[in-house]
């Protein structure tokens, strides 16, 4: 029996060394929790034996306990690097499907994948409570994977352009060289058929910019009898010349340069769509040709500009300079018995019968830690303590090995007794 007692001591010391070695190996693993081997003595009794004379039968591993104390927080400056100040875990989905198994971790080095889902290095998906766009939490009992859209808004094609500009009497910037009045048949590729041209902003139905130009064909030049000047307008959008609803509509100015025509918007047909061009506020002078103001009513989808995560876990996506929407609230999870959690690697755990069901909570509420953006939780392993434990485990292993050797020597002595 003493052989088995010594052997159990060897096995126990080996387990202790393995646990300590694993702690040391993960001293740099984010969100890692150190473990310790906990042992219990083996004691067998018989109803016919005297309790005072019973000897133990060695030791066994009762459990590998996990130290869930919080590790130190390290600032990273990355918005999606998250940590928890206080108890709880982040909930993640371990697979790409919305119904994948749930995992629980404090390793908060998250980032966005190409589809906008927030994931960690293990490919696990961060989950959040659903929210409205203004940040109101819609449910604290159901979670969903956090996805941050890269674009926001509904694109609309341009139907109206407001343009005011200065038409130069002396220099059109080389944008047109009309040779005669009336001009030859308009041709956007022939500068001699128009006096000036300018680019205008136009968006298609997908919110994409399309090339568009307004051309000004001089129809009346100043003379001794009349100092006024007039232009007809041609519109070319994406290589197609638009049909004016009123071919006689003109942009005109009196001898003093004040605008007299073109004060009302001009309408142009583009297939089954129409585009109006307002030229109110334009002028004619000896100054250089150029736009004064320009605007259009089309809209494009806004690109994601930044992401913010508040202490209550609400994730805000910012688009452009002014638009911000909430895309979810980080869920925090706790358990009745966290020692009952099972490890699945990557500093992540799964619920078990021993741990009980997961309790969902809002960050910062009673029993749940607050979210800190721009920082991660380091391993809670104390390297100095682990090195001391390693020395102690090595000493225990050597002592058990010596006890086993001694038992072997005693057995050899018995076997060598001569009659």
How do residues 393-404 score in pLDDT, each as one tens digit? 899 888 878 877
- Per the model's pLDDT, the better-predicted residue between 408 and 147 turns out to be 147
pLDDT band at 222 (very low <50, low <70, confident <90, very high): confident
Length of the chain: 419
More confident residue, 178 or 295: 295
Of residues 191 and 408, more confidence is placed in: 191
**pLDDT given for residue 341 in this prediction:** 95
Q: Residue 352 is encoded by which pair of tokens? A: 């078990």
- Residue 45: predicted pLDDT: 66
Per-residue pLDDT band at 227 (split at 50, 70, 90): confident
Instruction: List the beta strands (DSSP E) in 175-245.
Output: 196-199, 202-203, 209-210, 212-220, 229-237, 240-241, 243-244
Q: What is the pLDDT of residue 146?
A: 96
Per-residue pLDDT averaged across 63-69, rounded?
A: 93
Q: How much is the mean pLDDT over the chain?
A: 88
Residue 50's pLDDT is 66
Share of the chain above pLDDT 70, in %: 94
Mean pLDDT of 85-98: 91
Model confidence pLDDT, tens digit, residues 37-60: 988 888 776 666 666 666 777 888
In this prediction, residue 51 carries a pLDDT of 64
Q: What is the pLDDT of residues 130-160, one digit of tens each?
A: 999 999 999 999 999 999 999 998 899 999 9
CB-based contacts of 49, cutoff 8 Å, min separation 6: none
**Strand 160-168 relative to strand 273-278: parallel, antiparallel, unpaired?**
parallel
pLDDT in the model for residue 131: 96
Helix (H) or strand (E) holding 11: helix 2-25
Note the pLDDT tens digit of each residue in 328-343.
Answer: 999 999 999 999 999 9
Give the DSSP H or E segment for 348: strand 348-350
pLDDT of residue 175: 65
Confidence of residue 10 (pLDDT cuts 50, 70, 90): confident
Counts of helices then strands in the chain (DSSP H, E): 2, 34
- Could you give the C-alpha distances from 325 to 78, 119, 127, 133, 318, in angstroms and in order? 20, 20, 17, 5, 7
The predicted model gives 292-317 an average pLDDT of 93
What pLDDT does 48 receive?
A: 64
What confidence tier does 418 reach under pLDDT thresholds 50, 70, 90? low
Residue 173 — very low, low, confident or very high, per pLDDT cuts 50/70/90?
Answer: low
Tally of CA atoms within 13 A in the half-sphere of 191 that contains its CB: 9
The model's pLDDT over 307-327, given as tens digits with 9 standing for 90+, comes to 999 999 999 999 987 789 999
pTM of the predicted model as reported, rounded to 2 decimal places: 0.75
Identify whether the C-beta of residue 328 lies closer than 8 Å to the C-beta of residue 129: yes
Distance of CA 80 to the CA centre of its chain: 7
- What pLDDT score was predicted for residue 224? 67
Answer yes or no: is pLDDT of 127 > 80: yes
In this predicted structure, the answer to whether residue 174 has a pLDDT above a threshold of 60 is no
Residue 231: pLDDT above 80?
Answer: yes
Mean pLDDT of 71-78: 94
What percent of the chain clears pLDDT 90, i.e. is strictly above it? 56
pLDDT of 391 > 90? The answer is yes
Task: Verify cis geometry, omega within 30 degrees of 0, for the bond prior to 182.
Answer: yes
Q: What is the pLDDT of residue 44?
A: 72
In tens, the pLDDT along 264-283 reads 999 999 888 899 999 998 88
């Amino acid at each position: 029996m003493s052989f088995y007692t010594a052997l159990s001591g060897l096995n126990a010391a080996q387990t202790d060394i393995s646990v300590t070695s694993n702690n040391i190996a993960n001293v740099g693993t984010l969100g890692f929790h150190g473990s310790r081997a906990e042992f219990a003595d083996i004691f067998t009794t018989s109803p016919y034996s005297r309790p005072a004379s019973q000897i133990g039968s060695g030791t066994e591993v009762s459990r590998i306990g996990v130290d869930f104390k919080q590790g130190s927080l390290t600032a990273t400056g990355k918005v999606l690097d998250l940590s928890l100040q206080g108890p709880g875990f982040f909930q993640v989905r371990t697979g790409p499907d919305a119904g994948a198994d749930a995992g629980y971790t404090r390793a908060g080095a998250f980032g966005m994948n190409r589809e906008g889902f927030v994931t960690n290095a293990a490919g696990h998906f961060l989950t959040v409570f659903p929210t409205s766009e203004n940040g109101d939490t819609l449910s604290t009992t159901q979670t969903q994977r956090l996805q941050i859209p890269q674009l926001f808004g509904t694109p609309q094609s341009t139907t109206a352009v407001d343009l005011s500009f200065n038409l130069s009497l002396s220099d059109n910037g080389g944008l047109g060289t009309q040779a005669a009045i009336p001009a030859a048949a308009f041709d956007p590729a022939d500068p001699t058929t128009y006096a000036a041209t300018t680019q205008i902003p136009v968006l298609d139905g997908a919110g994409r910019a399309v090339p568009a130009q307004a051309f000004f064909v001089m129809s009346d030049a100043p003379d001794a009898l009349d100092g006024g000047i007039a232009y007809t307008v041609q519109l070319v959008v994406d290589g197609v010349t638009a049909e004016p609803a009123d071919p006689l509509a003109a942009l005109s100015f009196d001898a003093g340069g004040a605008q007299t025509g073109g004060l009302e918007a001009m309408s142009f047909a583009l297939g089954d769509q129409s585009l109006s061009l307002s030229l109110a506020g334009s002028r004619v002078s000896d100054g250089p040709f150029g736009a004064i103001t320009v605007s259009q009513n089309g809209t494009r989808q806004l690109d994601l500009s930044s992401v913010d995560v508040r202490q209550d876990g609400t994730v805000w996506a910012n688009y452009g300079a002014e638009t911000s929407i909430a895309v979810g609230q980080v869920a925090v999870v706790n358990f009745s018995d966290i020692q009952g959690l099972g490890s699945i690697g990557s500093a992540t755990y799964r619920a078990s019968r021993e741990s009980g069901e997961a309790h969902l909570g809002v960050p910062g509420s009673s029993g749940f830690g607050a979210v800190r953006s721009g920082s991660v939780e380091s391993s809670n392993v104390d390297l100095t303590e682990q090195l001391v434990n390693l020395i102690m485990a090595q000493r225990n292993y050597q002592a058990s090995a010596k006890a086993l050797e001694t038992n072997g020597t005693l057995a050899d002595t018995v076997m060598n007794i001569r009659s």
